[in-house]
Structure 1
C-alpha cells in the first residue's frame, strides 16, 4: 500500500468522497505529510498543531507502535493472520508489508468504510492476493467477522492478530465500546492477540486535562468525535487477556526501537496502548 508520487485525488476523486467535511483518515494523512487530503482536513491539522506543535509525533507513534507489534507477532510469535480495523490511507510502510516481509504466507485484512481508504487500497493491492480490503463498520463485529472476504480467507482455527489501534476512542459510550471489543475477542481462537491503542483521560486535576478538553472540542466541532477514557476504562476493555510486557503504557514506550532522545510531547502522553493474548 505504499503511496506513489501521484495522488488518486488529483486524477479523479474516489466515489462518495465528501470534500466539504474533514475525515479522520485524511487529517491523519495531512499530519504525516501526505497528499491525499483537502483544505478542510488541513484546517483541522492546523488547529491541532496550534494546541500542541508536537501533535504530529503522536500521530507517528500510532504507526510506529503498529510496526513494532507486527514485527514482534510475525517474527517471534509466528502469527500469520492480521485484521486491521483502523485502516488508514497508505503510508511509507504498512502492516501487511512488515508481516509479509517476515512471512510471505501472512494474510492481511484492512477494514474501513472510508471511500478514499478503500479506493487506494483496492488499487494498490490489486496484485497482492494475500492482502484484502474489507468494506465494513468496525463498530459491528459481526459485520466484520462474517464479511464474505473474511470468512473465505481467514482461518478461525489459527491465531489472529486483531488491530484496534485508535478506533474505540471514536466510539461514543452509547455504542458500548467495551461490548464491541468483547465481541471481537470472544470470536477469536485461543492464542490470538488484541493490539489496542486509545486516548487517555488523565483526570480532572492532571496538568493535561485542559489539553484533553481542547482536543475534544476540536474533534466535536469537526464532526469527527473523540472520547478520551480513564486508564481503568481502557484496562477494562482488555480484561480477560494476558497483557504482554510492558503492559498498558504510552505508545512510545511499548518496546521502542531505541533510547528516547527527547521528552514526550503533551499529546503523546495521552495515547496509550497494549497487546493482549487470548488464553
Structure 2
C-alpha cells in the first residue's frame, strides 16, 4: 500500500504487464509454501530460514489470526458487505479465503478484493469463484485511495455504502512503506467512507519488550535490509491504536488464536507475543446512520410459513442468516430468507434433499356440518 501519489519499491512500471522483482505478496507466498512463489522469493526465504526459522510459522499465524476474526464477524448476518484490501494470492496453505468464510448460506453477501498487484488480480479473478452469481469482484486500485475505490466503475451500484461494511487490511500495515502518521491518515479516510456498525480488521507486529524477542526481531529486520521487502514494521500499542480511528475495540489487541485454526507446527510463544489482531467497531462515523429493514420472527413466520419455533431452530443451527436484537430475539433479512426458502423448494422439486425441512402448509380449517 502506497501513500497517496508516492511510489514504493513494490510498484511495477505502468503497463509493464509482468513484475519479475520481489515484492511482499510474493515473499509471503514463498514463506507459506504456496505454489505461485517464484525462484527469487524461494531463495530469499531459504536464506532467511537459516537464521530465522520462525518466519514460516509467523506468516501462518498472521493468516490464521485474520481467518479467526473474519469467522467471528461472519456469524452476524447483518454484515453483508466485505472489502479485503491486499489479499495476496488465493488459497494459501494457512487459512481459507475471505469469501470461503463469509459466503456459505448467505446468497446476498458480497466480497470485494482490492489489490495493487496486477498479477495477483489476475490470479484472483481466475481462482476466486463460487457458485452464486456476482458475489465476488476483484479490482485493481491503489489501497491508499479509498475515495477512488468507492468511485471505481466496476463496483458502482454493487456495494451499498449506506450499509455496514467489514474492511479487512490483513497484514497490509505490517509491510507498509510509509510512516505511521501516513498509515493512520489513510485509515481515517477509509473510516470516513463507512457508516456506524461497520468493522475494520487488521493484523500487526507488536514491538517486543522482552530482550530475547527484541533481538530476534532485529535479526529479521536486519536480514531484510537492502531487499525489496525491507519494509517490515514493528509498532507500539499506541501506534497500532492510531490505525483504528473512530472505533471501539472491546477485545483490545488479541494475541489469542483458537487452537482449531492453528495449521502445521505450533506457533512459538514468542511469535504469539509479536503478532496481534485488531477488530474495530465503527461508532463515530460522520456518515448518516444506516436504515434497518430486518424483521422479527412474527413477520418471518408470516412470509415463509415456518413457525416461530422452527425459525429459531433454523437460526440456531446456522441454516438461515439471522441476527439478535438488543433483547436477544432473532431477526431476519426478509429478502435473503425468502431467497433461501425458494432455493430449498427448487431442490425439493428436483427430488433433491434441501438443507432443512420445508415449511408445511397450514391445515385447512374444519367445517362444522352439523
Shift of 1:31: 1.8
Contact kept? 1:28, 1:59, Cα under 8 Å: yes
Q: Of 261, 274, 277, which aligns to 2:278?
A: 274
- Which residue of 2 is the match for residue 129 of structure 1? 134
Aligned to 1:156: 161
Q: CA RMSD in A?
A: 2.6
Compared CA separation, residues 188 and 214, structure 1 to 2 (3 A) = same
Matching residue of 1:82: 82
Structure 1 residues 229 and 159 mapped into 2: Cα distance closer, same or farther (>3 Å)? same
1:144 corresponds to:
149
Report the CA distance shift for 1:96/1:259 in structure 2 as closer, same or farther (over 3 A): closer
| Partner Cα distance (1:91, 1:47) in 2 | 25
- Select the structure that is richer in helix: 1
Q: In the TM superposition, what whole-angstrom CA distance separates every residue of 1:114-162 from its partner, at most 9, and x where no partner exists?
A: 1221111112246751101110111222232222223331111111000
From 218, 227, 239, the equivalent of 2:223 is 218
Deviation for aligned residue 1:190: 0.7
- 1:3 aligns with none
* Deviation string, structure 1 residues 23-53 (Cα, Å, up to 9, x no partner): 2112222222211111110122123322331
Aligned counterpart, 1:243: 249
The 2-side partners of 1:99 and 1:45 are apart by 32
Name which of structure 1's ranges 133-142 and 208-217 shifts more when overlaid on structure 2: 208-217
| TM score, norm. by length of structure 1 | 0.83
Count of aligned positions: 261
In structure 1, stretches of 5+ residues that fail to align are 1-14
Q: Distance in 2 between matches of 1:275 and 1:254?
A: 14
Structure 1 residues 77 and 196: CA distance shift in structure 2, 3 A: farther
> How much has 1:258 moved relative to structure 2?
7.2
Map of 2:17 onto structure 1: 16
The one-character-per-residue Cα deviations of 1:1-33 (angstroms, maximum 9, x if unpaired) are: xxxxxxxxxxxxxx72322x2221122222222
Task: Return 5+ residue gaps in structure 2 as ranges.
Answer: 1-15, 284-370
Establish whether residue 234 from structure 1 lines up as the match of residue 237 from structure 2: no
- Deviation, 1:259, is 9.5
- Aligned equivalent of 2:206, options 176, 183, 200: 200
- For the residue of structure 1 that corresponds to 2:111, the secondary structure is strand
Distance in 2 (CA, whole Å) between partners of 1:102 and 1:271 is: 31
- Give TM-score scaled by structure 2 length: 0.64
- Post-superposition Cα deviations, 1:31-85, rounded to whole Å, max 9, x if no partner, equal 2221111111012212332233132121112222222222221223531111011
State the distance in 2 between where 1:263 and 1:22 align: 26
